[in-house]
Structure 1
Amino acid sequence: MSDLQISLVIIGVVIIAGVVIFNRIQLARHHRRVQDAFRHEHDDVLLSDEHKPISVDERIEPQFGDEVPSIQDDATDLANVPASALSERHVANDQPVQKEPGVQKKAASVDSMINYIADIRSNSPIPHERLIDLLQQKFDYGKPVRWYGLQSEGQLWEEISLDTLSPRNTYIELKGCLQLVDRSGLVTEINLSRFRDMAEDFSVQIHAEVDCPDIADAYARAVDLDRFCADVDVIMGVNIISKDGGAFVGTKIRALAEASGFRLESEGVFRYRDSETNEVMFSLGNFESALFLPANMRTLTTRGITFLLDVPRVANGEKVFDQMVHIARLFSSTLNGLLVDDNRVPLSESGVKRSRQRLADIQTTMAAHSIAAGSETALKLFD
C-alpha cells in the first residue's frame, strides 16, 4: 500500500471519528435537556372538496405525508421552541390573576342573537327579596338561563346571580335570557313557553311590565341557529403513535407537555391556554381511553397521543392551528413517533394545507353571521 493510500485511510478514519464524536455530543446534550424536565416533581374530520355539514363529534385530521419531516436536534428541545411559533405560549400559574382595584366594571353583553329575552320593567326598585326568590328558582329549561339588571337609566347592564346580588344594588329593569341553542341542540317550544310564563308571573308579582317575544318566531330562530352551528362545529385533530409499535411513557409526555406550555387539568387532558384571556387554544389527550391524571402519569404508558383544536371556540384559528401543528411535529420527533389520522394512516402535507383552509373558511363563515370564532357569543354557543 502506497504512502498516499495510507494517508487517505488515516484522513478518512479521522473524519469518521470526528462525525461520531460530534453526534454523540449532540445526543448527550439533547438527553440532558430532556432529563432536566424530568427532575421536577409532579404530584378530525378528513377534508373533502365538498363543504358538507359536519356533526358535533366530527374531527378534521390534517395529513402530513408518508414520512415525518426531519427536525434538527436542537429544535427538538421543547423548552426552546421558536418564539415566532409560540408567541402566545403560556404556563398558567396556580394563583388566580388579581384584578387591579378601581377598574371600571365592564358592561354585560345581552345577546339577542342567541337568546330568548324577557324584558321586565318596573317603575320602582324591584324588592331585593323578590330578586332572591327569582334567582333561587331551579330553572330547568334545557338550556342556560342568565339574568341581567339595570340599576337606573344611563347605567350599565350587569349580569346578576345569587353570588353577585347585593342589597345595596337596586334594579328597575331586568332581562331574563334563555339561550336558544348549545352543543346539545336547540331549545324546545315547550320550554320557551314555560320560560315566558315564569317571566310573566314574576312581573305580576312585582307589579311590573314585561315584554316577551313571540314563541313561534323565537323557535324558528332557534332552528336556523342550530343548523348554522351544526355546519361550523368542527374539532381538528392530530394523532401521534409510536413508529416501532412501542409505547410512550407518561412521565416523558408530561415533561414535554409542560416544557412546551401545556398544563394538566382536572378533566384528564393537558390544555394550552392563551396568556391574556386564559381561553383554551388546543389540548393534548390520550389516543387511548385512559385519562391523563396526576396520580397515574408516573406509571401510564400509551401507544398514542392526540392534539385537538376546537375551531369555533378559538380566535385567530389559522395562527393557532400552525402553533398546534408545529408543537405536534416537535413531539413526534422527540418521542420517535409518527403523525397519523384516526385510522392510523400517515398524514400528508397537502392535508395540512386543506385542513388549514377549511378552518379559515369556517371562521370566515362565522364572522359573516356576526358570530366571530372565540368570541363571547361563540363560547356560549359551543360550550
Structure 2
Amino acid sequence: MNLQFALLFIGIVIVAVVALTTYDMARLRGPRSRDDSSSDNSPHVEPSFRPDILSAAREGGGEKMLRTDADVILEEKPRQEVLRKEIRQLEEVATMPLDLASRRPGPPKAEPGREYLSDEKIDFVIRLPGEGPIQRNMALGVYKQHEYKLNKARHLYGQHHRTAHWSELQLDSQSTQYGDLALAIQLVDPRGPIDESEINVFIQLGLQLADALNRPTKLPRTVEEGLARAKELHLFCDMYDVIAGLHVVSGTEDVFPGRAVEMAAQRAGLELGAMNLFHMKNEVAPGSRHLFSLANLDASCAFDPTAWEAFKTTGLSLFMSVPCTYQPGEVFNKMVASARSMAETLGGRLQDQNNRPLTDKGIAVIHHQIEEIEEKMRAFGIPPGSSTALKLFNEAATL
C-alpha cells in the first residue's frame, strides 16, 4: 500500500511540473499583460550592456546588427519540424537547473544541491586528483595568492570528500573538505581569446597549488590544443555576437515627451532599470535576466526618471542580444509586439536599423536570420541563452 501511495505521489508531481512548464512557455510566447507582476526570485543573470552594443543598437548599420535587406530565402517550415522544436524547448525548460544563488543579496553563496563544474567546452582545465581530505582554506589560500595575475575568468572547484559532490571553493563554508580538485580558466570572453602567456601563468598556478597540496596535475588538453580551441571559440563569438533591433520614431516635426515615453514603455511591459534603460524582464529560465531593452535613439540624452517633464526625443531603440537569449526567435516576436504597442501609444512608426520603414517582410527576414543563428549555435554545441553562451558573450555572467 505504501508503494502505491508513493507511485501516486510521483505521478502527481510529474503532471504538476509539466503543467507549470507549459504555462510558463505560453507566457513567453503570448503578449504580456500590463498588470503582470515581476518576481525578484527569477533565476537569471544580469546582462552586461557594453558600449559597443548600445552604440550599434542606436546607430545601426554595423556588423553586429541583423539587417532587413539581407539575402534571405523565406520558406515555411514543415509542421513536423516546428513540433520537434517545441518539444525540445519544453524538455529543456523542464530539466534546466534554477540559478537561485545569483539573485540573493550579499556575498555569493552556493545553491543547495547544485553541482559547480568546469565547462569543458570553453575552459582550459588542470585537474589535481587525490584521495584527500584537503581543507578548503588551505587550497583556497594558495589559489588566492596567485590568481590575481590572470585576466580571464577562473575558478577552483572541489569534489566533497564524503559526498563526491562538486562545488566552487569560494562558495563553500570554511569547514568543507575535498578529494579531487579542478582549476579552470575561460579560453575566450568578450575581450578576446586567451594567449599563450596567460595559459603559462595559469599552468604555473596549477603547479604551485599541486606542490602546496602534494597533488599530481593532469591536463585534459595540451597548451597547443587549448590555444586552438580558444581561436575556434573566438571565431564562433565573432560570427554570432549579433543584435536584433528596431526603432520607434516620431513624425517629421513631432517629438515624444518624457511622460508619454514612460507610459508607453510601461504599457508595453517594460520597466526602468540598469543603466537607466527600460527592460523586459525574463521570467522563464534560462538566459539573461532581461529579454530585451529600450534606449533613447539620441545617445546624448539618457532616460532620467527625475526629469521626465523636460525629456523629449524623436525616437526610441529596442534591442536584444541574440546569443544571450533563450529561444531568441520567440523573444524577437515579443519585442516586435512591444514596439508596435509603443508606436500605437505614442503615435509613432517602426523603422529598421537603416532608418527605413520596417515592413512585415523586413521583420520576417530578421526572424529568419535569428532562427539560423540559433540552429548553427546549437550545432556547435552552445545554444543561445545557455550558461556557456552567457559566459562567452556576457562579461557580467557569474554562473
TM-score by length of 2: 0.68
1:186 equivalent in alignment to 2:196: no
Change (3 A) 1:293 1:221: same
Q: Which runs of 4+ in 1 moved over 4 A?
A: none
In structure 1, the partner of 2:77 is: none
Displacement, 1:57? 6.0
In structure 2, the partner of 1:105 is: 113
Q: Secondary structure at the match of 1:172?
A: strand
Alignment of 1:74-113 (within 5 A): 104-113=112-121
* C-alpha distance after superposition, 1:178-203 (max 9, x if no partner): 10112221111110111011111111
Matched-pair contact (CA < 8 Å) for 1:149–1:173:
yes
Q: 1:60 aligns with which of 62, 66, 75?
A: 66
Displacement, 1:330? 1.2
In structure 1, the partner of 2:175 is: 168
**CA distance in structure 2 between the aligned counterparts of 1:62 and 1:325, rounded to whole angstroms:** 14
**CA distance in structure 2 between the aligned counterparts of 1:185 and 1:116, rounded to whole angstroms:** 15
Alignment of 1:190-201 (within 5 A): 190-201=197-208
2:298 partner amino acid: E
How many corresponding residue pairs?
295
In structure 2, the partner of 1:142 is: 151
Displacement, 1:104? 5.0
* C-alpha distance after superposition, 1:50-89 (max 9, x if no partner): xxxxx996112458xxxxxxxxxxxxxxxxxxxxxxxxxx
TM-score by length of 1: 0.71
Matched-pair contact (CA < 8 Å) for 2:117–2:157:
no
* C-alpha distance after superposition, 1:279-304 (max 9, x if no partner): 22111111111222433444321111
Residue ranges of structure 2 left out of the alignment (5+ in a row): 1-33, 36-51, 54-60, 70-102, 106-110, 395-399
Displacement, 1:246? 2.1
Using the aligned pairs only, state the percent identity: 26
**CA distance in structure 2 between the aligned counterparts of 1:175 and 1:197, rounded to whole angstroms:** 14
Matched-pair contact (CA < 8 Å) for 1:148–1:158:
yes
Change (3 A) 1:62 1:323: farther
Q: Secondary structure at the match of 1:373?
A: coil
1:292 equivalent in alignment to 2:298: no
Matched-pair contact (CA < 8 Å) for 1:241–1:339:
yes
**CA distance in structure 2 between the aligned counterparts of 1:329 and 1:376, rounded to whole angstroms:** 31
**CA distance in structure 2 between the aligned counterparts of 1:334 and 1:358, rounded to whole angstroms:** 29
In structure 2, the partner of 1:152 is: 161
In structure 2, the partner of 1:12 is: none
Mark the structure with the bigger radius of gyration: 1
**CA distance in structure 1 between the aligned counterparts of 2:329 and 2:375, rounded to whole angstroms:** 11
In structure 2, the partner of 1:78 is: none
**CA distance in structure 2 between the aligned counterparts of 1:298 and 1:276, rounded to whole angstroms:** 35
Displacement, 1:168? 2.1
Change (3 A) 1:338 1:284: same
* C-alpha distance after superposition, 1:1-35 (max 9, x if no partner): xxxxxxxxxxxxxxxxxxxxxxxxxxxxxxxxx9x
1:204 equivalent in alignment to 2:215: no
1:317 equivalent in alignment to 2:325: no
Structure in which a larger fraction of residues adopt helix: 2
**CA distance in structure 1 between the aligned counterparts of 2:169 and 2:158, rounded to whole angstroms:** 6
In structure 1, the partner of 2:369 is: 358
**CA distance in structure 1 between the aligned counterparts of 2:128 and 2:241, rounded to whole angstroms:** 34
Residue ranges of structure 1 left out of the alignment (5+ in a row): 1-33, 37-43, 46-54, 64-95
